[in-house]
Amino acid sequence: MIKNIFSTPVYQNSVNNFNLIQEEIEDAVDIISDKFGMREDWGTTHYISDVTFSDNIIEECNMKCLQEEIYKHAAEYRKHTPFGNMFSRYSLVGDSKITSSWITKFEKGNFSSIHDHGMDDISGCYYYKTSGNDGDFFYESSSPWGGRVKIPPAEGELILFPSWMKHGVLSNETDNTRMSLAFNIVFNR
């Protein structure tokens, strides 16, 4: 459940209610299928349902089952994390809130460059559609010695990590379309 990657605890676990969550996302993909685009400043890396990262697809498409599952896992992550303030410079005393969420789509040749999610507390990803061989998620070390830890995607799996942690997705070299739902969480202060 908790793995230490570059001395930082990250969370990885399968969801309950897999079939219901898959149905919620499938319905959302049908609703927003015409919104998928690429950010011009990124080039042709991958497709996203909201190029501004200001939408909350979970809320907009009423994905209650997925939302409950994310909150449950985020609470579990927080409970088993040994650092009181590792996610933020503020004390995390209150409830959490998903502030933004979007669906990503990786066709053959698509990837995600190394990035972080800025000032949010926890970021995460739920794997909706994947063959498991269509582009590993990776964490990138911020140390001068570098390093990378790859995590193969698995349908129905949820990963959570501090938003400041550098990460990306390796190129999809298959004919399979890989889709995931990414999100950011903040805690009340």
Distance, CA of 75 to CA of 100 (rounded, Å): 18
CATH superfamily of 2-187: q2cbj1_9rhob like domain (2.60.120.620)
How much is the pLDDT for 75? Answer: 87
Q: What is the pLDDT, as a whole number, of residue 147?
A: 92
Contacts of 38 (CB under 8 A, 6+ apart): 44, 45, 46, 47, 48, 51
| Cα 139 from Cα 2, distance rounded (Å) | 15
User: Which residues on neighbouring strands pair with residue 146, listed in sequence order?
Assistant: none
- Provide the residue-wise pLDDT of the chain in tens; the chain has 189 residues: 888 888 888 999 999 999 999 999 999 999 988 888 887 777 668 988 877 778 899 999 999 999 999 999 998 888 877 555 555 544 455 678 999 999 999 999 999 999 999 888 899 999 999 999 999 999 999 888 889 999 999 999 999 999 999 999 999 999 999 999 999 999 876
